[in-house]
Amino acid sequence: MDLTRTTAIVLRQFYLLRGSLTRVVPLFVWVAIDIVLWGFITRYLNTVTGSGLDFVPMLLGAVLLWDFFSRVMHGVTTAFFEDVWSRNFLNLFATPLTLAEYLAGLVVSSSATSAIGLLVMLLLATGVFGLSFFVYGLALVPFLLVLFLFGVALGILGSGVVLRLGPAAEWFVWPIPALVSPFVGVFYPLSTLPPWMRHLAYLLPPSYVFEGMRSILAGGAVPVRLLALGALLAAVHIVLACWFFARIYRYAVRTGLLARYSAESVN
């Protein structure tokens, strides 16, 4: 893999962001709104419930982690969509650029944009609502790592779906985090789910992150085994997503779909 070509993909995204305020503002506005909204909700719950449970690290922390995952996934797909919207995808692969270099560029771009969103969320959650991340300890690092890896996997998967079905299929991609969230127990333990949903939850890496988070807040030890299993599953999801994207790409090249890519749905 040539890092120069991967860097070129990252630079393209940087120049797009630098030249457009409408691309920069969404990087932090929506996550800021989420943190502010849930921050006030947790404050309200702390005042009206007599359970003695602190909702700030439990709910606001969950929102922060989930928004980080969503930013990572949408970072990958949005970088891909930029090439779709500009009808630049065919031009890219008329060069010596390989598929691995292209995907690596999307992932690095997503890492940068999601880091911006994470920084804004940390500043708001800590400075305004008093969320202390010391309560999670060093487990916060593997929490973010597992969510990052799974976000990358779903981003690549979503990009492959759009490559196969056409630009109109991007509307299948945006709601993916919302569709996944009921299965991974962002705000409630997996034990509340019906058995069929619980079986699916065990296949999704974020389930282990949020179960681990609640375990720590309940006074338990860092769930090393759960986090290791989540990281392993996330790595498997990335491999499968890359295989899926590569297979779709080869199909698009073989059938001429790549050359016919346009703003319309591709049958």
The whole-number pLDDT of residue 86 equals 80
The whole-number pLDDT of residue 22 equals 81
The whole-number pLDDT of residue 263 equals 42
Taking a C-beta distance cutoff of 8 angstroms, is the pair 209, 123 a contact? no
The whole-number pLDDT of residue 77 equals 93
| Assigned token pair, 175 | 């709601």
In this prediction, the residues of the chain whose per-residue pLDDT falls under 70 are: 50-52, 260-267
Taking a C-beta distance cutoff of 8 angstroms, is the pair 77, 113 a contact? no
The whole-number pLDDT of residue 88 equals 79
- Using CA atoms, how far apart are residues 175 and 21, in angstroms rounded to an integer? 24
The whole-number pLDDT of residue 266 equals 46
SS3 239: helix
Residue 263 neighbours by CB distance under 10 Å: 10
The whole-number pLDDT of residue 93 equals 77
Domain range summary for the chain, segments of one domain joined by +: 3-255
- Span 172-226, pLDDT tens digits: 899 999 999 999 999 999 999 999 999 999 999 999 999 998 888 887 777 888 8
Task: List Cβ neighbours of 198 (8 Å cut-off, separation of 6 or more).
Answer: 190, 191
Taking a C-beta distance cutoff of 8 angstroms, is the pair 168, 262 a contact? no
The whole-number pLDDT of residue 51 equals 61
Residue 237 neighbours by CB distance under 10 Å: 20
